[in-house]
Amino acid sequence: MWSQLVHKTRRMTCFLLPYYHNSPSTTKLIFTPHYASSVFLRPVSSLAVRSFCSKSGAMSSLQSLQNLDSVSFLKQREAAEIDETLMGPLGFSVDQLMELAGLSVATSIAEVYKPTEYSRVLAICGPGNNGGDGLVAARHLHHFGYKPFVCYPKRTPKPLYSGLVTQLESLSVPFLSTEDLPLDLSKDFDILVDAMFGFSFHGAPRPPFDDLIQRLVCLHSNDQTHQKRPVIVSIDIPSGWHVEEADIDGEGIKPDMLVSLTAPKLCAKKFCGSHHFLGGRFVPPVIADKYKLHLPPYPGTSMCVRIGKPPQVDISTLRENYISPEFLEEQVESDPIDQFRKWFDDAMAADLREPNAMALSTAGKDGKLSSRMVLLKGVDKDGFVWYTNYESRKARELSENPCASLLFYWEGLNRQVRIEGSVQKVSDEESEQYFHSRPRGSQIGAIVSKQSSVVPGRHVLYQQYEELEEKFSDGSVIPKPAHWGGYRLKPKLFEFWQGQQSRLHDRLQYSPQEIDGKLVWKIDRLAP
Ligand SMILES: NC(=O)C1=CN([C@@H]2O[C@H](COP(=O)(O)OP(=O)(O)OC[C@H]3O[C@@H](n4cnc5c(N)ncnc54)[C@H](OP(=O)(O)O)[C@@H]3O)[C@@H](O)[C@H]2O)[C@@H](O)CC1
Ligand SMILES: Cc1cc2nc3c(=O)[nH]c(=O)nc-3n(C[C@H](O)[C@H](O)[C@H](O)COP(=O)(O)O)c2cc1C
Ligand SMILES: Cc1ncc(COP(=O)(O)O)c(C=O)c1O
Ligand SMILES: [K+]
């Protein structure tokens, strides 16, 4: 039977998207966002599929913001069966799965609770594999910059578990006995990882876990006192809950975060906390197929994916506290282009996504402003270059008023760069050369798109694209349309901004000054 399933799945891998492989008809659409459904519900052209796939990382993180009703939930028996199958015919070892499960838990925690605010973690580990996941998660959390503590009162005398304990001891992670633990956990910890029981839990919790569960339950009484309490993160099952019927008497723990592994178990339907994540990115298609699992794709290289709705937030409370090294006048380059290159190199080294994306602002003769993102395609002493359509809105505005501003924001580095100046078209040869360096699809796209004009529907673009794709399928040169080319902004003003604590940011402005007939850049610090 397994070989049949494997065979079937191989055939299905021709479908392009992970976890959408059941059959074309069952892609009956699990995920709510409108555009996702519309992409899949109707026949799609090759262009549609290709363009979707090239963006699939970002798309999949959007798809995961789905309706929980559409995700599969497992019964206790199914969870145990999947476990056995993974570790039997599918060739996994328990160590491997536990490592991936624990890593998923640690990455889920790190997505929501930053170590700068939530550093002290207590992992309360039970005797089974759920406890093992907790031990692994504690180790990863240590490496992520948290300060984990472990309470592991019923140690399992197996090499896997003693190895995990040794690894934690080698990192000087403290092990606390139940007697060492304060009765009130709220003062000493920011995060409590509930790794006591997973899907093999049955009956009523026995000592010492009954008492430990009770200590987690008690924390909610602090909610009324508005005292800050630690958040509870449950691995796979909130411990003490019935695996299928959840918190039967309503007096169990109420985790803030639940990290379901492999697929959520039935009790997860009753989870009311703010953050439900799925981890365990190891489910092979045979399992998904056999259990008809509808699971969201994991974004990019992530080990976890949010399922269910993201928490409703009060937007006014969203803020970051920037912590950066000092950015001082003595350290900067005298030439702002050199300084820009230095920061650009830092953005590259920090592996930021599209560090060359910049907001371009223009204004027509009526003085009305408009902004949009464009990609920087070159920078030198002559200025900053990007490419676009010469009949677009920005092009019209630039023809009326050849002044613009550029804005870079490098989020991971707490840095922003503003540049203002005058704009000219680049030479035809330069545009010609750049145009032919682009992927052929983008060259055709530039011909198809009468940028900023109204189109009756996406199908019109597809149709024209496909006609041109056919026309140039012999690999012949795709001529650059006359309406497509580059602009160069010659800078007259720069500002380099770096975020600092209490909003006392660094701002160094470069403005040109003539001294003895020579142009030099004057550097001023501006108030934040
Ligand atoms: N693919 C997967 O599925 C993966 C699964 N993974 C993880 O494994 C978890 C399941 O692990 P598991 O089977 O070891 O069971 P788990 O729930 O941790 O505990 C069993 C222990 O608890 C005990 N116990 C039970 N009831 C009790 C009670 N009332 N009061 C006191 N003790 C009680 C029981 O003792 P017993 O009753 O047998 O004497 C036994 O010692 C799963 O949820 C997930 O976290 C990942 O690591 C990898 C991928
Ligand atoms: C990250 C990013 C990069 C972009 N890069 C370019 C670009 O290099 N050239 C371009 O014409 N449009 C680019 N666009 C699309 C523009 O933002 C904009 O939609 C388009 O140029 C039309 O703008 P307009 O109607 O104001 O002229 C980019 C969009 C994003 C989000
Ligand atoms: C409409 C448009 N033109 C041009 C570009 C720049 O793309 P490329 O890097 O292929 O030149 C982009 C990038 O997003 C774009 O959206
Ligand atoms: K648990």
- Check: CB of residue 239 under 8 Å from CB of residue 194: yes
Binding site for (6S)-NADPHX, by residue number, is 129-133, 198-204, 236
Ligand 2 atom closest to the Cα of residue 394 is: 27
Ligand 3 atom closest to the Cα of residue 373 is: 14
- pLDDT tens-digit series, residues 134-148: 999 999 999 999 999
Reported confidence tier of residue 224, pLDDT bands at 50, 70, 90: low
Using alpha carbons, select from 236, 322, 262, 344 the residue that is nearest to residue 19.
262
pLDDT greater at residue 463 or residue 58? 463
pLDDT, average across residues 301-309: 92
Burial of 5 (0-12, 13-18, 19+ CB in 10 A): middle
**Alpha-carbon span 116 to 110, nearest angstrom:** 11
- The answer to whether residue 469 scores a pLDDT higher than 60 is yes
Using alpha carbons, select from 68, 137, 71 the residue that is nearest to residue 310.
68
Which residue's CA is minimally distant from atom 27 of ligand 1? 201
- The answer to whether residue 12 scores a pLDDT higher than 50 is no
Q: Which residues lie with the beta carbon below 6 Å from any ligand 3 atom?
A: 375, 387, 438, 442
Q: How far is the CA of 200 from the centre of ligand 1 (A)?
A: 4
The closest ligand to the CA of 440 turns out to be 3
Q: What pLDDT was estimated at residue 309?
A: 81
- The answer to whether residue 105 scores a pLDDT higher than 70 is yes
Which residue's CA is minimally distant from atom 4 of ligand 2? 374
Q: What pLDDT was estimated at residue 51?
A: 33
Going by the DSSP 8-state scheme, the letter that residue 127 receives in this structure is S
Q: How far is the CA of 9 from the centre of ligand 2 (A)?
A: 40
Burial of 334 (0-12, 13-18, 19+ CB in 10 A): exposed
Going by the DSSP 8-state scheme, the letter that residue 412 receives in this structure is G
pLDDT, average across residues 449-471: 98
Q: What pLDDT was estimated at residue 225?
A: 58
Q: What pLDDT was estimated at residue 62?
A: 53
The closest ligand to the CA of 132 turns out to be 1
Q: Is ligand 1 within 6 A of the CB of residue 261?
A: yes
Q: Is ligand 2 within 6 A of the CB of residue 393?
A: yes
Using alpha carbons, select from 418, 412, 419 the residue that is nearest to residue 499.
412
pLDDT, average across residues 80-86: 96
- Kindly give, in sequence order, each residue whose CB lies less than 8 Å from that of residue 484, ignoring residues fewer than 6 positions away: 387, 388, 389, 390, 431, 435, 446, 447
- The answer to whether residue 76 scores a pLDDT higher than 60 is yes
Percent of the chain with pLDDT over 90: 82
Q: How far is the CA of 339 from the centre of ligand 2 (A)?
A: 26
- The answer to whether residue 37 scores a pLDDT higher than 60 is no
Mutate-to-test residue for ligand 1 from 201, 243, 259, highest number of ligand atoms within 8 A of CB: 201
Percent of the chain with pLDDT over 70: 86
- The answer to whether residue 8 scores a pLDDT higher than 50 is no
Residue 475, amino acid: G
Q: What pLDDT was estimated at residue 311?
A: 78
The closest ligand to the CA of 358 turns out to be 2
Q: Is ligand 1 within 6 A of the CB of residue 203?
A: yes
**Alpha-carbon span 387 to 427, nearest angstrom:** 12
Which residue's CA is minimally distant from atom 12 of ligand 2? 374
Burial of 508 (0-12, 13-18, 19+ CB in 10 A): buried
pTM (predicted TM-score): 0.69
Reported confidence tier of residue 70, pLDDT bands at 50, 70, 90: confident
Count of all residues that appear for the chain in the document: 528
Q: How far is the CA of 474 from the centre of ligand 4 (A)?
A: 59
- Kindly give, in sequence order, each residue whose CB lies less than 8 Å from that of residue 487, ignoring residues fewer than 6 positions away: 385, 386, 387, 388, 398, 423, 424, 425, 426
Q: What is the 3-state secondary structure (H, E, C) of 316-384?
A: HHCCCCCCCCCCCHHHCCCCHHHHHHHHHHHHHHCCCCCCCEEEEEEECCCCCEEEEEEECCEEECCEE
* Residues acting as catalytic residues: 503
Q: Is ligand 2 within 6 A of the CB of residue 262?
A: no
Q: In degrees rounded to 5, what are phi and psi of residue 40?
A: -95, -20
Q: What is the mean pLDDT of the chain?
A: 88
Q: What pLDDT was estimated at residue 226?
A: 59
CB atoms within 10 A of CB 317: 6
ipTM value = 0.74
Which residue's CA is minimally distant from atom 29 of ligand 1? 205
Reported confidence tier of residue 31, pLDDT bands at 50, 70, 90: very low
pLDDT, average across residues 57-75: 64
Tokens matching residue 479:
């001529």
SS3 408: strand
